[in-house]
Amino acid sequence: MYLRWLYYFNRLNFALLKLRLSGRVEFCEGCDISTRDFRYRGSGKIRFGKGAVLERSVFPAVFDAEAGSEIIFGERVWLRGKYCANVFTAFAGARIEIGDDCGFNGAVLAAKNRVMIGKKTLLSWGVSIMDSDLHDLSNSRKARISTVEIGDYCLIGVHATIMPGVKIGSHCIIGANSVVTKDVPDNSIAAGAPARVIGRLDDRDRAS
Ligand SMILES: CC(C)(COP(=O)(O)OP(=O)(O)OC[C@H]1O[C@@H](n2cnc3c(N)ncnc32)[C@H](O)[C@@H]1OP(=O)(O)O)[C@@H](O)C(=O)NCCC(=O)NCCS
């Protein structure tokens, strides 16, 4: 009985959330969103593809979408906040694009221009991805802004940081605590600070 009421309560909250954010946030068919954990700020557009899930978790998911920005989640993207919050910040005019079947467990993504992640890529807790330095380095050295791209079927390990301009290929693993400052080719294991390729991998499309 209690579970049934909880189910209807969540359905009602979800319907109210959709109404409140209509025109800015689009939820496609079959999305399962814990409204309690959903935080939206700004006026940018967000789209959750079919079957996207925001789990009822310990930590919330924050979607910070400034004017003219877009945050696009593919189908069946799974957001979990078991150890820390997921935070997606798209600054004015920026775009964050996440492919189908990606999984997040407490990552921070900050885009001034563009951050793109392919399909079936998993991001562990404490991962940070930024496409800009966010602050000027000095009076003469302005903040870099450069697109970050991560391919399909990657695993980004605990507390890894992906720096501006980096392109990580498909079927890659980034080791725990790594700081990735340079491109990583397909089918590589890269680790360390700065990250270096320490091994090669076969494909990960059937890895769990
Ligand atoms: C990167 C990783 C996959 C490497 O595994 P591996 O291929 O078995 O590599 P090894 O453990 O044999 O280590 C190879 C070398 O890389 C070093 N290394 C491994 N992981 C490293 C890391 N995260 N940072 C720095 N160096 C690392 C090892 O010390 C070793 O160095 P050596 O050759 O000088 O002795 C693994 O260490 C890792 O970090 N996994 C990610 C775990 C994770 O975050 N999972 C997500 C949970 S949701």
- What's the pLDDT tens digit per position in 26-65? 999 999 999 999 999 999 999 999 999 999 999 999 999 9
Secondary structure (3-state) at 138: coil
Cβ-based neighbour number of residue 198 at 10 Å: 13
Asked whether 127 and 107 are in contact (CB, 8 A), the reply is yes
pLDDT tens, residue by residue, 86-143: 999 999 999 999 999 999 999 999 999 999 999 999 999 999 999 999 999 999 999 9
Please name the residue whose Cα sits nearest to atom 24 of ligand 1: 192
Asked whether 121 and 151 are in contact (CB, 8 A), the reply is yes
Mean pLDDT computed over every residue of the chain: 97
Strand partners, 188: 200
Ligand 1 neighbour 194 (Cβ under 6 A): no
Q: Residue 159: what are its φ and ψ, rounded to 5°?
A: 60, 20
Catalytic annotation on 159? Answer: no
* Domains along the chain with CATH numbers: 2-200 (2.160.10.10)
For residues 188 and 170, what is the distance between their CA atoms, to the nearest angstrom?
8
Q: Of the residues 5, 19, 135, 208, which is catalytic?
A: 135
**Percent of the chain with pLDDT strictly greater than 70:** 100
